[in-house]
Amino acid sequence: MTRVEDIHTALNSRLNTAESVPLNTEGKENVHRLILGKVLKMLGDDTALVQIGSTKIKAQLAAQLKADAFYWFQFEQEGGGSLNKLRPVQQFDQDPKTLKDAAAKLLEGLSLKNGIENILTATAFLKEKSVINEAELKTAVKWIEQFQGADVKKGLQALLFALKKDLPIQQGVLQSILAVKSSSALHQDIKALLDRLTQLPKQSDATQALTQAVRSVIDAETTVHAEKLLSVLLTAKEGQVKQGGSMTVPSHFNPSQQTENSQASIVQGRQTVSINQPNAQQLISPKQLPIPIQQIERILTSMTKQGADGQQQPDLKPFTSLLQGLQQAGSQPDAKASVLLKEFPFLSKTEANALAQVIQQTEPTLSNKTDVLDLLTTMKKAIGVRDEIGMLKLLEKGSQDVKSQELHQLKLVLNDVRQADLPEHVKKEADQLFHRLNGQLFVQQENQTVSQMMVSYPLFSKHSVQDLTFILKGHKKKDGSIDISQCRLMFYLNMENLEETLIDCTIQQKVMAITIETAHELQGTINPMIPAVRENLNALGYSLTGITAKKRQEQIDPSHFLDEHFHKISEKGLDLRV
């Protein structure tokens, strides 16, 4: 005879003892919970001994039931008392032999269609839940019904992911998980939305706000470039340079932080970094720059705005527009010089060519650590990555105007416009992007001892990298920060030549092992670089065991990738297996 624990073997490790049955209904009075059970013996007075998993409970039944038979029960607990109340939903004609049998009877008892999609949906619940929330099951069934063909499998994978992570089964959550598992590149989704917006014959307030927010993400690299260029010009004006050395620029320029004496403080108060870039043909020092200081001052004066205090201060927007115009002009020096002469007619052609070379040398590169950090910081702010935490803190403090805090940027605007009257094709793209960005929050998990998170950045770059996904898993220190001496870092990049590239760094007691996985044979190319990597890591207090290159035989499936690398975490620790 089939026993209940045989049905639940794959999912009911929690039910090894009677005390472990999750039957507490505190705070869940309106939640209908469904349990597969077997009536062992009727005890009289409508009470019975019922087996649920490997647990036996005494329960009050809503009716006289057949002993030694299986039922789906709706579970209730009267006033927090010790006696459980079970209402039969569906009786089994014979002992269920498979999860599919149990799922079919459950659907029948809830008057839901018994199609293959619904069977698979109910089976997914049975595999992961010993106690099933009736409302969540019905929500999942309704959500899966909207898919057809191959999309049904994708929907079921998203549902199973949510069940494994104990996430609430709501349509928004499921849609976000489905979006974050998408095989399309994030930068493609953002560009697709911008294309839809720019094709609209007429812009509303909502679409204008959304267009501006999307452009702030796409133009992040240009914004960083404008900050560097402005900093270079300020540095040259103030004379804060190393004698006989290369031109230096202050990083992390923020025009909004300026005061009356801001130009000097910007130059003096920041770490300086060389603008010597790998692709630059010639390194320019301030003494070699054939632009008189008077001309630099005129350039800065033409790119200023009046601050709140009435003082003139540098304005980043004109610099950004200038760089966008130069990008559209192409790569020919004469074309770039023409753009600069039109913007600054007081420059000579020689001075315009010199300025064009400075602009080229200040262009951000992905081989420059400061540039990468600036770009990711700018992108993070533009998208609103993890800003929900900041919003909650504001709400806790009683702030009534969350929007004025400029927290969310793109994510907040996306949320607003989803409620607006948008053309259907625009709304579809906006919903997809909104759910994809929020899906990263559902993927991450955190508790007092361990943390795992994933953040994707779209890179609209000239450097052959389209997307960067950063994954971190690790244990927490007492102050709540990640212990970087023992953690795991993974970087998933989509590059033009190497295509999909996975860099996996496992760190144990500050000993790092790196694996690089691509569709190409790279070990011979990487070997000469290992000594330099080892030396740089040693300078940071880490040692390197080696760098291994793996040739991947097939493309990475984002859905399977998340399932493989994101495990359910507990207070006992985090699974760091590959």
Query: What digits encode the pLDDT tens for the residues 440-497?
Result: 888 777 777 888 888 888 877 666 677 888 888 888 888 878 888 888 888 888 777 7
Q: Which amino acid is at 59?
A: A
- Of 336, 324, 378, 351, which Cα lies nearest the Cα of 236? 351
Do residues 128 and 25 share a domain?
yes
Is residue 323 included in any domain, yes or no? yes
Do residues 320 and 462 share a domain?
no
Pairing of strands 450-458, 465-476: antiparallel
Q: Which two tokens stand for residue 214?
A: 């999307």
Q: Is the pLDDT of residue 79 over 60?
A: no
Do residues 369 and 449 share a domain?
no
Is residue 489 included in any domain, yes or no? yes
Q: How many domains does the chain have?
A: 3
- Is residue 407 very low, low, confident or very high in pLDDT (cuts 50, 70, 90)? very low
Q: Name the percent of the chain lying above pLDDT 90.
A: 25
Q: What is the DSSP string of 452-487?
A: EEEEEEE---SSSEEEEEEEEEEEE-TTSSEEEEEE
Is residue 504 included in any domain, yes or no? yes
Q: Which amino acid is at 403?
A: K
Whole-number Cα distances in Å, 82 to 23, 78, 297: 10, 8, 82
Domain of 453: which CATH number? 3.30.750
Is residue 404 included in any domain, yes or no? no
Domain limit, last residue, from 141, 173, 206: 141
pTM: 0.74
Q: Which two tokens stand for residue 415?
A: 């949320």
pLDDT at res. 464: 66
Pairing of strands 84-91, 69-77: antiparallel
Is residue 423 included in any domain, yes or no? no
Do residues 226 and 361 share a domain?
yes
Do residues 357 and 230 share a domain?
yes
Is residue 399 included in any domain, yes or no? no
Which residue carries 């009911």 as its tokens?
12
Rounded CA separation 134/351 (Å): 73
Do residues 266 and 353 share a domain?
yes
**Torsion over CA: 402, 405, 411, 414 (sign):** positive
Q: What number of other Cβ atoms are within 10 A of residue 110's Cβ?
A: 19
546-566 pLDDT, tens digit each? 999 999 877 777 667 777 766
Do residues 346 and 454 share a domain?
no
Domain limit, last residue, from 356, 373, 390: 373
Do residues 120 and 231 share a domain?
no
Domain limit, last residue, from 141, 156, 172: 141
Is residue 198 included in any domain, yes or no? no
- Domain limits for position 51: 4-141
Do residues 15 and 136 share a domain?
yes
Is residue 173 included in any domain, yes or no? no
Do residues 225 and 368 share a domain?
yes
Rounded CA separation 386/220 (Å): 18
